[in-house]
């Protein structure tokens, strides 16, 4: 099988959540795949399953860059399990000789919406319009205050990470 070697770095973005993680694979401005992986069990089992599934994605897509949320930022309120999981995924990326980039929620909102007070749903709507074939059908209805977040939103969280990485990378190159 012939493989073409792209000059664009392949990006794997992973957005961990309590129920699993969302992922997005991009090359340049093209979204290759995105989705959600679910994990079950206690906190150690969830982390082990998540790391295993991220490693499978890394072996499948061979990314040059792994993009993760910055869970240690000043305004980040993430569970200790998620913080531990992100550290484990960073270690995994280092073993695979893959560069790691961490992006904060403020960086995402500023890059996509131009306003740090924007909402996750506004970012998700914008990405669904930008990538209609990949994301439009996955966009859940707007969450009401008393409802839990839809499990599909972690796919959009990962897509946000990948798109913002591509945007900031292209600005640095210019």
Domain limits of the chain? 10-140+149-166
Side-by-side strand order, sheet with 20-27: 30-38, 20-27, 10-17, 65-69, 99-103
For 141-157, what is each residue's pLDDT tens digit?
A: 898 989 988 888 999 99
> CATH number of 10-140+149-166: 3.50.30.10, 3.30.420.10, 1.10.10.10, 1.10.340.30?
3.30.420.10
Structural contact between residues 152 and 19, judged by C-beta atoms closer than 8 angstroms: no
Count other Cβ atoms within 10 Å, centred on residue 149.
15
**pLDDT one-digit tens code per residue, 90-131:** 999 999 999 999 999 889 999 999 988 888 899 999 999 999
State the DSSP H helix or E strand holding residue 170, giving kind and residue range, or none if neither: helix 153-173
State the chain's mean pLDDT as an integer: 89
R_g (Cα) of the chain, nearest Å:
16
User: Tell me, what's the pLDDT at 7?
Assistant: 57
């Amino acid at each position: 099988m012939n493989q073409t070697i792209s000059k664009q770095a392949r990006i794997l973005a992973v957005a961990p959540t309590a129920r699993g993680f969302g992922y997005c694979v991009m090359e340049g401005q093209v979204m290759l795949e995105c989705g959600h992986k679910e994990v079950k069990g206690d906190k150690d089992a969830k982390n082990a399953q998540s790391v295993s599934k991220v490693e499978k994605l890394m072996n499948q897509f061979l990314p040059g860059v792994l993009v993760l949320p910055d869970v240690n930022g000043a305004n980040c309120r993430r569970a200790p399990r998620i913080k531990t999981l992100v550290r484990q995924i960073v270690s995994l990326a280092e073993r695979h000789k893959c560069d790691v980039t961490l992006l904060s929620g403020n960086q995402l909102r500023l890059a996509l919406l131009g306003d740090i007070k924007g909402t996750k749903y506004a970012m998700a709507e914008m990405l669904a319009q930008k990538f209609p074939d990949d994301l439009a059908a996955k966009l859940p209805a707007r969450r009401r205050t008393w409802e839990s977040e839809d499990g599909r939103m972690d796919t959009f969280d990962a897509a946000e990470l990948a798109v913002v990485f591509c945007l900031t990378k292209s600005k640095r190159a210019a």
